[in-house]
């Protein structure tokens, strides 16, 4: 069985379960083959009956909540391997939506036991080359891995990567001190932890490839090549977006055909969700 998995732990002003609902709707609306969706939450009762209709699996995050004392809820992201209900899983960040069918990717992904995105795109569908947010990767020669779209099978290789990542999550300050020489992050980073695990295990060639997929549109402002005097972190202040009644998306004049990582949580309006719901009912 194949499917998509997200962790959704609400924190502060952000409702990640609502984002997961929108993401699940978008996957149900667009994917012709694999559209099973699993959400991992603190408590099953956190998910409303309205939302439950699009979640095929609702999983309580196992063991204790490693993120209970943190505002940035990433500390449970080593647990994907242990809680997925699927034999083949694509892990996604919750603040994403799908607009087009990428079902054919699964046949290619299945040729590996584990596969990370390494070449995300700008909204103009250009490969991101800026390391504005990734100085630690450049200075420490880490594999340029992104976990916002990450594939794995229930396999020995994936088990080893997740086990090493767990060790790093549990003792990240010592791992960063011992294995990173420059620009050590001052807090746990999921992408850095997975990249470091891959580097320590020396399996980069096994979990990456030079193909144009998997990939996604990454909407962080400083990698978009926006030519304005001041570029804030909120890209919605600089470029317009249009989400149509048939759930197509344009940023400026560029239609988005890849998984779309909107990043700015306020972009997901109630109007967008209503359009996704209407499309789901039509389907």
| pLDDT (tens digit per residue) in 35-91 | 999 999 998 989 999 999 999 999 999 888 656 766 667 888 999 999 999 999 999
| pLDDT (tens digit per residue) in 104-161 | 999 999 999 999 999 999 999 999 988 889 999 999 999 999 999 999 999 999 999 9
The CATH label, of 2.60.40, 3.90.550, 3.40.50, 2.60.120, for the domain at 2-282 is 3.90.550
| pLDDT (tens digit per residue) in 247-264 | 999 999 999 999 999 999
What residue spans define the domains of the chain?
2-282
Q: Closest by alpha carbon to 35, among 18, 54, 22, 17?
A: 54
The CA radius of gyration of the chain, in Å to the nearest whole number, is: 18
Residue indicated by tokens 């439950």: 52
Q: What is the pTM of this model?
A: 0.95
Count the alpha carbons within 13 Å of 110 in the hemisphere toward its beta carbon: 11
Taking residue 122's Cβ as centre, other Cβ atoms within 10 Å add up to 20
Looking at the DSSP assignment, which residues form a beta bridge with residue 92?
A: 149
Looking at the DSSP assignment, which residues form a beta bridge with residue 218?
A: 261
Helices (H) and strands (E) counted in the chain, each on its own, are 10, 12
Q: Burial letters for 240-260: b for 16+ Cβ neighbours within 10 Å, e otherwise?
A: ebebeeebebebeeeebbbbb
């Amino acid at each position: 069985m194949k499917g998509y998995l997200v962790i959704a732990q609400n924190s502060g002003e952000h409702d990640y379960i609502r984002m997961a609902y929108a993401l699940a709707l978008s996957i149900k609306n667009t994917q012709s083959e694999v559209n099973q969706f699993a959400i991992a939450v603190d408590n099953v009762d956190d998910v409303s009956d309205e939302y439950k209709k699009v979640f095929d699996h609702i999983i309580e995050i196992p063991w204790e909540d490693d993120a209970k004392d943190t505002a940035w809820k990433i500390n449970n992201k080593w647990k994907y391997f242990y809680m997925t209900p699927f034999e083949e899983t694509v892990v996604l960040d919750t603040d994403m939506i799908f607009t087009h069918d990428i079902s054919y990717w699964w046949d290619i992904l299945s040729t590996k036991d584990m596969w990370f995105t390494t070449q995300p795109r700008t909204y103009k569908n250009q490969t991101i080359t800026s390391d504005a947010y990734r100085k630690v990767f450049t200075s420490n020669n880490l594999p340029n891995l992104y976990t916002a779209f990450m594939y794995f099978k229930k396999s020995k290789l994936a088990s080893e990567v997740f086990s090493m990542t767990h060790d790093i999550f549990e003792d990240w300050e010592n791992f960063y001190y011992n294995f990173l020489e420059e620009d050590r992050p001052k807090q746990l980073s999921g992408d850095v932890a997975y990249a470091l695990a891959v580097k320590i295990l020396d399996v980069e060639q096994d979990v990456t490839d030079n193909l144009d997929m998997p990939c996604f549109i990454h909407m962080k402002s400083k990698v978009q090549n926006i030519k304005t005097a001041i570029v804030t972190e909120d890209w919605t202040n600089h470029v317009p977006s249009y989400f149509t009644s048939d759930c197509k998306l344009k940023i400026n004049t560029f239609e988005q055909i890849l998984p779309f990582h909107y990043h700015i949580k306020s972009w997901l309006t109630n109007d967008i969700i209503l359009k996704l719901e209407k499309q789901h009912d039509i389907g």
